[in-house]
Amino acid sequence: MTLTERNQQLALGCFGLFGILAILIKVRFEPLMQVDHQWLTAFSTSPLGQHVRVWEWLTLLGSPLVTSGLAVILALFLWRIRQYGWSLATLTAIVTGDGLLLVIKALVGRIRPFQQVVPDTGFSFPSGHVFSTALLAFIVWTLLMQWLGRSWVSWSVITLMAMVLIGVLFARLGLRDHYPSDVLGSLLLASGWWLQIVSVLERVTKKRRQQQTQE
């Protein structure tokens, strides 16, 4: 199995799990609803869930506006160093990903949890903050592994990004703006979307190389 085929299969797997989760939420599958409410209540009432100020800062850091802006800066940098494929892949992932997220939110139409600490608007599933933060983290992870391999620099940056992602995830739960299944769905969607983008990029790059060889 080639790397492209593996990425494609992983993408389909993530999409499949996400689709199942979205359907269960849409039909209000009772066991899932109960687990969501129990876990959200347990987290928000625990000592960890009381750090409201920290959660507010992490929510701001992981907002789609901030993460999209960082992704655009990254894409411009990639274009500047003549990494045109990765630049376009980054922009495509962010722009189309945000659009896809809004469509899914409207289709599922899940109401946000009651008693939000910091009121938010829009539908709950999936979480836009977690999706955009995860997508940016996956992009950076892929680029670091592509250029620096398994170096200490790569793992240091990846660890930092993972900590930020986990922090944003906890923030959305701590502020009671999302259910646990909302953030899980965002992770699945972001993983599948980026893997799909990478798979397409690899196919296009391979085809161009073949054409250049024939010429």
215 residues of the chain, pLDDT tens digit each:
677 788 889 999 999 999 999 999 999 999 999 999 999 888 878 877 677 788 888 888 888 899 999 999 999 999 999 999 999 999 999 999 999 999 999 999 999 998 877 777 889 999 999 999 999 999 999 999 888 878 888 899 999 999 999 999 998 988 888 999 999 999 999 999 999 999 998 888 877 777 766 65
Distance separating alpha carbons of residues 61 and 124, to the nearest angstrom: 19
Q: Is residue 160 part of a domain?
A: yes
Q: Would you say 132 and 62 are in contact if contact means Cβ atoms under 8 Å apart?
A: yes
CA atoms within 13 A on the CB side of 38: 6
Q: Is residue 107 part of a domain?
A: yes
Tell me the two tokens of residue 88: 């376009």
pTM for the full model? 0.91
Placement of tokens 């922090």 in the chain: 167
Cβ burial 13-46 (10 Å sphere, 16+ → b, else e): ebbebbeebbeebeeeeeebeeebeeebeeebee
Q: Would you say 87 and 79 are in contact if contact means Cβ atoms under 8 Å apart?
A: yes
Q: Is residue 58 part of a domain?
A: yes
Q: Is residue 174 part of a domain?
A: yes
Distance separating alpha carbons of residues 177 and 200, to the nearest angstrom: 34
What confidence score (pLDDT) does residue 205 get?
80
Q: Would you say 89 and 213 are in contact if contact means Cβ atoms under 8 Å apart?
A: no
What confidence score (pLDDT) does residue 131 get?
96
Q: Map residue 1 onto helix, strand or coil.
A: coil
Q: Is residue 215 part of a domain?
A: no
Identify which of 72, 130, 126, 71 has the alpha carbon closest to the alpha carbon of residue 102. 126
CA angle at 170 for the pair 165 and 31, rounded to the nearest 5°: 115
Give residue 195's domain range.
Answer: 3-209
Q: Is residue 103 part of a domain?
A: yes
Q: Would you say 183 and 127 are in contact if contact means Cβ atoms under 8 Å apart?
A: yes
Tell me the two tokens of residue 39: 């876990």
Number of domains in the chain: 1
- Sign of the C-alpha dihedral, residues 20, 46, 174, 117? positive
Distance separating alpha carbons of residues 110 and 117, to the nearest angstrom: 18
Q: Is residue 18 part of a domain?
A: yes
Q: Is residue 214 part of a domain?
A: no
- Kindly give the interhelix angle for 52-61 and 152-174, rounded to the nearest 10 degrees: 120
